[in-house]
Structure 1
Amino acid sequence: MSPTDWLSVTRGDAPLVVSIPHAGTIIPSDIEARLVSPWLARKDADWWLGELYAFAADLGATVVRTGVSRTVIDVNRDPSGVSLYPGQATTGLCPVDTFDGEPLYREGQDPDAAEIAGRRIRFFDPYHAALETELDRLVARHGKVVLYDAHSIRSRAPRLFDGELPQFNIGTNSGAACDPALTRAVEAACDGAGLSRVTNGRFKGGWITRHYGQPGQGVHAVQMELACRGYIDEPTVLTPDTWPTPFHAPRAAPLQAALTDVLKACIAFANST
């Protein structure tokens, strides 16, 4: 499997890079054979984000996306294996359980250190090389660029957070990853939609936001974690027959309109002096 089979880069000239690190569902056959269930391994994907953000390229954004499942390797985790949320439940660089704590691998089949290192070389490193290439290109052209890391998650995941997640969850590494003016602009675009929003709540930004968000070097990073209910139905009980629910464009249209305003606000910020 070559990088061109799973790594997608759509180039634009606007000062905005949209990263989609968790929407992939590809699992190499040698890994899938060791899993408890292919469905469990794909259960926690950021479903349909490619379709939800299909408008981004029309705004001139550069879109970097991996088709590989986060079960294979999570390109939004610290490659050293250090937890991004110490003391809180989370998944690792090569997850061994789901968000609900269900084991992903059959007994004795978890990846060892050597296998994890190999997956880093095969999948993690090319994704970040692509991100770095596009950020460098656009910083050289514009001087200031926004990196928008796009995510979604079920509205309720009791092992990860209490209650129902707000619709918009903005993460800026507690303000370190971007200029406060960008945070305010994204918040205003979300609030204009009349939907619930929190900034630096349960999700403060993953490794992509924390690593690349270097305002002094011209890269301002923000993570957007969406509650899935904004664009697809969420069944009460998740089974292979009920999840994921299909992407339905009319259902997603109001959220897409709000996200269009968010990305336009990112571009306007990057173009400001």
Structure 2
Amino acid sequence: MALFTTGEAVAVELPIARVPTRAAAFLLDLILQVLIGLALVFVLLTLLAAIGADSAWRDAAVLVSMIAAVIGYPVLCETLSRGRSVGKLAMGLRVVRADGGPIDFRHAVTRGLAGIVDFWMLGTGLIAIVVSLCSPTGRRIGDALAGTVVVHDRGRLPWPSLAVPPPWLAAWARQLDLSGLPDDLALAARRYLLRFGTLTPEVQDRLGRTLVITVCARLGTPPPNGYPPMHILGAVLAERQRRAFPPPPQPTRQQLNAVYQRPAA
């Protein structure tokens, strides 16, 4: 088991997938990759033969088919299914971010490209096995580069209550481009919110302002004036979470005001 801090700063334990189950999932995917590669080669070579293409075009067709099968297949599957290939689905596995959230195309393509080193450089997958055995969370090189972890997903994963932003910053948060916010910085902001009540007022202010300045710089927007760091960071993280998960039932304004205590104008 490994402890993840989710988008709403809730600690959740998820079972880490180890080498045996990951190897079984990889073998299933490998069979599909071979079949896909052969099918692409057959189709492309048939088309090239029909138009009388020379050997250079045929070599290019074989290379494109191999790349599509080796890299395109896992990237496409994990992007569309939010972390599962056919092999992982059969073995009850899923790729998640280091904070337990769903992955996107950036994570999938990083894992797919790194798979060339993990699985194909020596032709045996030995690098992936050794690195995974040495990692406490079972990560291979692709996971380390992408900031992901493979977990068991046979049962339904814990689904904590979703966070909502302070209502007076909701409109500001919706117009943000959150693609520039890296996972490690978002995780630092979540931990700040999680530990907020245990910090001294001086640390709350100093650390909060530092995080707000860093986060807003990465987002390319100035911090809104007149709001404490807790409100700004809460709005950013809640909006990030809203885009990754279905919207939760909205609390009343009285409940939100009791939590955030809107500052005086």
| TM-score interval for Structure 1 and Structure 2 normalised by the shorter chain | under 0.3
TM-score, length-scaled by structure 1: 0.24
TM-score, length-scaled by structure 2: 0.24
Which of the two has greater strand per residue?
Answer: 1
